[in-house]
Each structure stands twice: as C-alpha cells, then as structure tokens.
Structure 1
Amino acid sequence: MSQWIKCSDRLPGDELDGMSVIVAVMHCSRGPIAETDVWVKGSKKGHFAFWTNTATHWQPLPEPPKELINV
C-alpha cells in the first residue's frame, strides 16, 4: 500500500503528468476527504486539475488487479 506524501515535501513528478493520483483535502464543510484527481505538469511546479493547490497530501494509485474481468 502506498504512503501519503505531504505536498509541502514533494509533488508528483513529470512521469505522472496527466495521470490520476489520490489526494487528501480539508473540505470547508465536509472536513477531510480523499479522492482521485489528475496531476497536470505545469511550467513551474504543476498542479492538481480539480483541487489545484488545496490538496495537502497525495499518493499514486495502486497497481490494478492482474486479472481483469471483461464486462
């Protein structure tokens, strides 16, 4: 299982540009939440597509299952 990484310590790298990651955010009315967002490489630091710079922590998505079921 991946560990949470503080955004103040390290942001996702260029290899995750356009990829989904899990972010943790302190929502103003719901409190702490975790959900997926897309990392967007920018000209300087980059940002999360939806939560921009309000995410406090992130982690890569886990590996998908080795056997996928066709639906």
Structure 2
Amino acid sequence: MSDWIKCSDRLPPEGEKRDYLCLFEYGEMQVTEWLYDKTLGWCFWYGDPSHWMPLPHLPTE
C-alpha cells in the first residue's frame, strides 16, 4: 500500500498551510509548501507534482 496521493484524485485541504513530499513526473521528489498564492489560489510552491504525501510528524524526543 502506498501513501502517495495522486493530485488528480485530491489535493491537500485549502487553508492547511504546511509542507508535503511531492513526486514529479520526471522522477524528482521535493519537499514543498502548500500555500495560497494571490494569482494561482491554493497550490504547491515548487511546481506541479503528479503525487504528494504528508510529511511525518517530528520526533518528540
């Protein structure tokens, strides 16, 4: 089972400004922010990925 989510299936919730791991069609992975842009609306900061997944929570210790 994969934790990757296809961008064509769904995107992160609007208003949930945080970082995600994104996969691009040419095989590159990038941590990028999901944010609101005045021109584009809600979008990933770094390009147009094909898949995304939430980052795990930081360790507490």
Same fold (TM over 0.5): yes
Q: What is the aligned length?
A: 59
How far off is 1:66 after superposition?
Answer: 1.6
Provide the rounded CA distance (Å) in 1 between the counterparts of 2:36 and 2:3: 22
CA RMSD across the alignment: 2.1
Structure 2: runs of 5+ lacking an equivalent = none
Structure 2 equivalent of residue 61 of structure 1 = 55
> Which has more radius of gyration?
1
- 2:10 aligns with 10
5+ residue gaps, structure 1: none
| 1:37 aligns with one of 32, 37, 49 | 32
Take 1:61 and 1:32, find their aligned partners in 2: how far apart are those partners? Answer: 18
Q: Paired residue for 2:24?
A: 25
- Post-superposition shift, 1:14? 2.4
**Percent of residue pairs bearing the same amino acid type:** 32
**Separation in 2, partners of 1:64, 1:13:** 21
Instruction: Provide runs of 4+ in structure 1 moved above 4 Å.
Output: 42-45
Q: Which has the larger share of helix?
A: 1
Alpha-carbon deviations, 1:22-62, whole Å to 9, x = none?
A: 10002xxxx301110000135786210121xx200001110
Normalising to structure 1: TM-score of the pair? 0.68
